[in-house]
Structure 1
Amino acid sequence: MTRFIRMFGPVMAAPHAAEVTRAAVGAALGLLVCDLILWALSGGADLAHLTLIAPFGASAFLIFAVPNSPLAQPFSAIAGNTLSALAAIAVLHLTDNPLVAAPLAVGLAIAVMGVTRAFHPPAGAVALATVIAASGAQPPTWAFAFTPVFAGSVLLVVAGIGWNTLTGRKYPFRQPAPSPHGTKDALPDRRLGLTAPELGHLLDRLRMTPNIGVEDLARVITAAEAEAAAQHLGDLTAADIMSRDLVTVPPTTPLKTLAQVFRIHRFKTLPVSEGGHYAGLIDQSALLGLTDGRVTAADLVTPVETALPGTTAATLMDLLADGHQQAVPVLEGGRLTGLVTRSDLIALLAARLRSATP
């Protein structure tokens, strides 16, 4: 009985207040911008006249509150809403009986969305609202599908891209990342797992394609594996792993001296510091092909993620596994205190494997 009752309770984790506020403010601003522009496009005769349609409220919820959902993506929102309006108008030209037109319009809208891979739940409401709006009046013209439906959907999507980007959310959702080396190989942290097509097939088999994108699923799996690996690494931090006796160069170091330092010490990366303060990291590959004697260390620094002495080993593994950087500078109060390289992590993992082998 308890299990039955719990089926009707909340199933989602409680959202953070900041995230709720972000979504609410974004949706309100997005709808306001959409309404004002549609009002201007309609001639701006009456400012009190609402130019939005009710389903835009649901579209705004998806775009601003759950921007990583496949159902909220630009193609789904724009094509789904527009095609559903067209489907409803077509039905209204066949019959003006709302008892027949309403279910037929929604059914046709779903079919069209399925064929075009443009599933967008509010689009079903667009079809129904189109039929309701025509009740007792002339059927909407085909232009209705373009203004306000198409134009409003485009405006909401554009507002969603701007707001989500501004507030730190990814929209449109992530696509599989290419190799930073320009090859067809998967990223290092993805080579032992399922490929993108395999993940897509898995989502399709479980009928979860509308719920999560392939790349987001891969990110969840990778994060879960990293968390599991962290349990085997215990409480190790950057301070336990990092090299402390560092060779650094000042920003004014000329190209010839940089090449000599790399050659003598056989480094893959070289930290740049001035007065003990971290100024960047140089990758060995940045020197290839350079002959201009005016080039200095400051010209070659590459932006990379940094860490604190207390950063966990699992987090360091995550930073170094995707191939985008060779080492992680460890900073404390802006001062360079250590460096964790891939070699350091390989040595750590090898030691843990040896200790775990009976």
Structure 2
Amino acid sequence: MNQKTDRQTRGSLLWRSLGPVLPPARPAETIRAASGALIATALLALSFAMAAPNLPLPASLTLIAPFGASAVLLFAVPNSPLAQPWSALVGNVLAALIGVAVVKVFDDPNLRIVVALGLTIPMTILARAVHPPAGAVAMTAALSPELVDTLGFGFAAAPVGLGTLILIVLAMVWARLSGRHYPFRVYHAPGPFGTADAPPTERLGLSESELTAILDSYRQSLNLGVEDLARLIGAAEIQAATHRTGPLTAADIMSRDLVTVSPETSLDEVAGIFRRHGFTSLPVVGPEMRFFGVIFQIHLIRQAREDAFRLETRFAAAMRRLTGSPGEGGAKRAGDIMAVANPRATPTTPVAALLPQLADGHCDAVPVLSKGRIVGIVTRTDMIAALARQSLTA
């Protein structure tokens, strides 16, 4: 490579490095984050307005600017280590205490700002509570000596501590309502099935200390947690495995001789089919094999459990009622408890695309559809058999 080409390459890389580094966001995720932050900020303002008579300062001074920065982290990037409850609450409160102390020691405004920020960064790092808005909290105190004169070190408790705590609680509620995880998932926490085993895609053979060492060696401990690193490595392994599946499609491995039920099939009959065939899933279809959904064995168990709680009876009695005659009331039909939002495929869908869906533990079978009609189903057993054949020919 000559010098001119080398300079052009470096120039191109520089311009690219100045552009966006985040991938395009999905519209649904954008709406989720924006809506959560909007609702949380409104509720925070309402909370302070209601508490204003008990606070020794105007309500206009309680909703400080750093809360907006905290809301961005808690609702837009809830998986970030910088957005976790310890980081947010301890970081903001510690910064507030530092800011107030600096105001009491120094008179020069510019010096107060520099010292407050200069102390906040190392102190939050040492406290393992790095939270970028904490820098703004320290500067808010340094720029507002009248606020410090009014509240003193109480500024750290309210509005800073109280407001941050309210945002954290609202972020937890919003994450649960919108299907996200907050606080950060802890490594070795119970898996999706309530056992000590990690999800199948995260069983890497690497210990928590080894994963932590990887993060430290690449200086990523502030950007990723151990749990996220395990998920990313697991996803990469699954994706790499898809490269070895060759040109196989769903049509090559799917089960074609299907046993199906209609939405009107009684759950007693559904349970009987599960017993006779040993299936774990049954497609629910209409005339001409038009696909409606899938009913899994676990759906029967969950419905019986919910009925047992609702009717204050034993599980066995609830199951008998659930699978009894249609005249006894309750959810007695397949259409009442079938799943309609599970992954789907077409006959030409590559096996590589099905592998992640069947490996994560949440999906037992993927129906294969052609023009809205079911033509087959790919189960985990089908996938294991296909991968076994591939390994023999590799």
- Normalised to the residue count of structure 2, the TM-score between the two structures is 0.73
Asked if the contact 1:254/1:293 (under 8 Å) is kept, the reply is no
Counterparts of 1:36 and 1:259 in 2: how far apart (Å)?
Answer: 52
- Which region of structure 1 is more displaced relative to structure 2, 22-31 or 120-129? 22-31
For 2:24, which of 9, 15, 39 is the aligned residue? 15
Q: Residue 218 of structure 1 aligns to which amino acid in structure 2? A: A
* CA deviation profile, 1:55-95 (whole Å, cap 9, x unmatched): 22322332333332211223322221112102222344444
Alignment match, 1:90: 101
Q: Structure 1 residues 29 and 238, CA, compared in 2 at 3 Å: closer, same or farther?
A: same
Counterparts of 1:261 and 1:17 in 2: how far apart (Å)?
Answer: 41
Counterparts of 1:191 and 1:135 in 2: how far apart (Å)?
Answer: 55
Alignment match, 2:221: 209
Matched, 1:343 2:352: no
Alignment match, 1:125: 136
Alignment match, 1:314: 352
Q: Residue 24 of structure 2 aligns to which amino acid in structure 1? A: P
Report matched runs for 1:1-358 at 5 Å: 1-2=7-8, 3=10, 5-6=14-15, 9-10=18-19, 12-13=21-22, 15-16=24-25, 18=27, 23=33, 27-28=37-38, 30-43=40-53, 49=60, 51-98=62-109, 101-134=112-145, 138=149, 140-161=151-172, 170-176=181-187, 178-250=190-262, 252-253=265-266, 255=268, 261-273=273-285, 275=287, 276=289, 277-283=291-297, 293-296=320-323, 298=333, 303=339, 305-309=342-346, 310-331=348-369, 335-356=373-394
Counterparts of 1:285 and 1:34 in 2: how far apart (Å)?
Answer: 40
Asked if the contact 2:48/2:59 (under 8 Å) is kept, the reply is no
- Over the matched positions of the two proteins, sequence identity in percent amounts to 44
* CA deviation profile, 1:24-74 (whole Å, cap 9, x unmatched): 565455434433432332249999945422322322332333332211223
Unaligned runs of 5+ in 2: 1-6, 305-314, 324-331
Asked if the contact 1:134/1:140 (under 8 Å) is kept, the reply is no
Asked if the contact 2:274/2:297 (under 8 Å) is kept, the reply is no
* CA deviation profile, 1:227-270 (whole Å, cap 9, x unmatched): 22222224433333211211234554464x55654454343444
* CA deviation profile, 1:195-251 (whole Å, cap 9, x unmatched): 444322321232211112222222222222222222222443333321121123455
Root mean square deviation, CA, Å: 3.9
Q: Structure 1 residues 337 and 197, CA, compared in 2 at 3 Å: closer, same or farther?
A: farther
Asked if the contact 1:88/1:105 (under 8 Å) is kept, the reply is yes
SS of the aligned residue for 2:221 comes to coil
Counterparts of 1:283 and 1:21 in 2: how far apart (Å)?
Answer: 35
- Normalised to the residue count of structure 1, the TM-score between the two structures is 0.79
After TM superposition, give the deviation of residue 120 of structure 1 in Å: 0.1
- Count of residue pairs brought into register by the alignment: 355
Unaligned runs of 5+ in 1: none
Asked if the contact 2:52/2:59 (under 8 Å) is kept, the reply is no
- Which region of structure 1 is more displaced relative to structure 2, 178-187 or 206-215? 178-187
Q: Structure 1 residues 198 and 351, CA, compared in 2 at 3 Å: closer, same or farther?
A: same
Asked if the contact 1:306/1:330 (under 8 Å) is kept, the reply is no
Counterparts of 1:295 and 1:79 in 2: how far apart (Å)?
Answer: 50
Asked if the contact 1:89/1:139 (under 8 Å) is kept, the reply is no
Q: More helix by proportion, 1 or 2? A: 2
Q: Structure 1 residues 99 and 260, CA, compared in 2 at 3 Å: closer, same or farther?
A: closer
Counterparts of 1:150 and 1:284 in 2: how far apart (Å)?
Answer: 44
Q: Residue 9 of structure 1 aligns to which amino acid in structure 2? A: L
Q: Structure 1 residues 326 and 244, CA, compared in 2 at 3 Å: closer, same or farther?
A: same
Q: Residue 10 of structure 1 aligns to which amino acid in structure 2? A: G
- Which region of structure 1 is more displaced relative to structure 2, 23-32 or 60-69? 23-32
SS of the aligned residue for 2:366 comes to strand
Counterparts of 2:98 and 2:298 in 1: how far apart (Å)?
Answer: 59
Q: Structure 1 residues 209 and 52, CA, compared in 2 at 3 Å: closer, same or farther?
A: same
Q: Structure 1 residues 348 and 76, CA, compared in 2 at 3 Å: closer, same or farther?
A: same
